[in-house]
Amino acid sequence: MKRLLLVALGWMIAWQAAAQFNDSTHYHIKYSTTGIINKTNDARSFVLNNVLGFQVSKERFTLNSTNAWIYGRQGNNLTNNDFTSALNVDYLKNKQKLYYWGLLTFTSSYSLKIDHQFQAGAGLGYNFINTPKAELVVSDGLLYETSKLKLPAGTDFDHQTVRNSLRIKYKWLLTDIIQLDGLHFWQPSLERIDDYILRSTNSLSIKLRKWLSLTTALTYNKLSLTQRENLLVNFGITAEKFF
């Protein structure tokens, strides 16, 4: 229930912000569902990855809301029940190379042993390439984080820290129908050297229709304090609409 309320809050903020823009505002909604199912005589396993994103783009502002849920089982054992919701705002990204960003995120992850994790922060970004066929963006800033983790010893750990957040994002339209996307985060704590987060996603999409694509995605996450990581290779479809 808590997760649904957070998703609803993020969407409500997005729609309220969108309502303040004029007719030159552009919208983008995107949903992807990917996964792997393996069934043999002895066992069965599956992982499903669902991502829903909504973007409102104005001349000076861009608002993004993203919600992702990964669920997986191997036999009778739960392997993944991982949820992430993020809301970020970019200012002047569509006007100049250097821009400003703000971010709010919530994460709960069975596989990474995160009961809950909240992050909020801001920083600067730089558009090295920003064309319809290619994009390369590097951003950096500070995040305040509060979380509750399950440590390897089995104990609960209430954690607060400030992180540096480095992000590299790219998009490359190889042909009119083939697109490569990547999003990578490196988030070390400023308080202890053994506390860091790695997040990496790469995806390759092949368009079947203007709004529908076949997608394969490689996702890697690591949380050093819990000594947990996951690696997912999924195949599925992506549907999107611009309006």
Per-residue pLDDT in tens (0 to 9) along the chain, 243 residues = 445 444 444 544 444 444 444 457 889 999 999 998 888 777 789 999 999 999 999 888 999 999 999 999 998 899 999 999 999 999 999 889 999 999 999 999 999 999 999 999 999 999 999 888 999 999 999 999 999 999 998 899 999 999 999 999 999 999 989 999 999 999 999 999 999 999 999 999 999 998 999 999 999 999 999 999 999 999 999 999 988
What contacts 178, CB < 8 A, 6 or more positions away? Answer: 204, 205, 206, 207
CB 50 within 8 A of CB 69: yes
102 Cβ contact partners less than 8 Å away, ≥ 6 residues apart:
88, 89, 121, 122
The token duo for 104 is 């709010």
Beta strands in 40-195 (DSSP E): 44-57, 61-74, 77-91, 98-109, 114-130, 134-150, 156-173, 178-188
Cα(17)–Cα(30) distance, integer angstroms:
19
- Go through the domains of the chain in sequence order and give each one's CATH number: 2-242 (2.40.160.40)
Strands 212-223 and 156-173: unpaired
Backbone CA torsion sign across 142, 2, 78, 236: negative
pLDDT of residue 231: 92
> Tell me, what's the pLDDT at 20?
47
The dihedral over CA atoms of 146, 152, 156, 160, expressed in degrees to the nearest 10, equals -20
Looking at 20-137, list the stretches that DSSP marks H as alpha helix, in order from N- to C-terminal side.
none
What pLDDT shows up at residue 187?
98
Q: What are the CA-CA distances from residue 50 to residues 38, 66, 91, 126 (Å)?
A: 18, 11, 28, 29
DSSP category for residue 133:
S
225 within 8 A of 159, measured Cβ to Cβ: yes
Question: Which residues, in sequence order, are CB contacts of 36 under 8 Å at separation 6+?
Answer: 46, 47, 233, 234, 235
Which pair of tokens denotes residue 45? 């396993």
**pLDDT of the residue at 25:** 84
